[in-house]
Structure 1
């Protein structure tokens, strides 16, 4: 088996760069055949993935795996690169993706029960002998006729606003204080966030309207936001997506919501709405921040179709 490792040394506030020398020593000690490439800018992993797949096809290599080494954003770009490549080369056999979690959030790893310690995660990769087909999220922008994919979640509103503010915090790049950038951003959004209009159309159902939406997250795994168990029953092994809509809560409702999350009973609250569907439609008005797998989408309106597609993972 040969491994192509797409490595983001900037992941985890510099943690990836710190542990990478130890990872290389581990691979050398195990006599692992691998080639590492390094991301240098946003979306670079998409291009690197397509280049790797092109070389694999040109040289007719077999028994290969692409490892995304970094955080959820690195995995997201690696998946996107694979999907874009196979859209252009639909007859080629898909090369499986694996994930080495050395970033900060690592929600995909939690959702798929991949160890968060890199030594154990890497050992599992090297001892795996066959891929597992999982379902990943796929969205279509019905206004712009574009599409994309997500391994974790697609969020509009609260979580996306937090990502936007935290990414612009001077604390984020600091390995020790980075986590406080999210705490500060959360408090800021809670105080200043205004609810927005959203229409939800589940598969084979009529329109559901929410006038004061606070959080709108579509997820393929149980976790978001670095370990928050937003949908305990969500699974990438089935072909459904889970959507959670939270109406703008009062202070006591917010406290109740947070408390119930720890008990995994928050989806029973009346101001929280949960959908489990093969296909969902979302429409909003007014510009709102969005995020995919922790990566910003900017501020815009949304008119989306969401569903799942399959891809092989080496897990």
Structure 2
């Protein structure tokens, strides 16, 4: 029997579920327990097909819009947040609804509303079409918030008035990209108002920092997460920016092309904030079947954040 090649796996920590994702999943599970199936969820509760499939098997029905939901069944709003018009319409229809918006996304909403109430024009740094961006822009009247997606947008942005500017950001952006965009805006508009505390969430920041460290020591980076997951996509980009030879975003071990491992001695492995830990274990098991694996967990920071469940489910 031929000896298997050695492979060192550097396992990023923290990785996987953040507090907001964990809370959102619990909300769906406990809503099914409380009200029975089916319960409806407007948009994917989090961007991970494995999580969505498991909750579907329990009795969750995922829809894109509220008008796909019957009046007599509970509906849950996803962790990404929704425009104000959505709960308003649900209340008008006398629906039972539970808002699973991540509290850190809600903080961005509150910040945008505060700036608006103080008379400022608002810039949202984020990616067009992402549910979180749609939800944040939907907190205020149409046209109040201007979207800036990249450094070029920041250079070309022109205020609509002279009443003062403020910016807020999507929570799952690249930390480095956002620093660049903010520095451009602050250089152009020195008096621009900023968030009291950075809007990019702790989990996004921690996972990107871990990838930066691991990318200096590895030949290949695998990020477990869905293609629709903003924070997972950013992890792959961070690895490539740090100079790792190759980086791939995979849903699970079945996406692995073993040709990627030609000449690879060290693998950096992480998971986006909406990817469950069993998918990480699946990749490690698959690697164990091909290589003589040495596993090293690289912990850059401990996370102990926990968010309370909505009152309707706490009772």
Larger RCO: Structure 1 or Structure 2 (Cα < 8 Å, ≥ 6 residues apart)? Answer: 2
Which has the larger Rg? 2
Higher helix fraction: Structure 1 or Structure 2? 2
| TM-score, L = length of structure 1 | 0.31
| TM-score, L = length of structure 2 | 0.31
Higher strand fraction: Structure 1 or Structure 2? 1
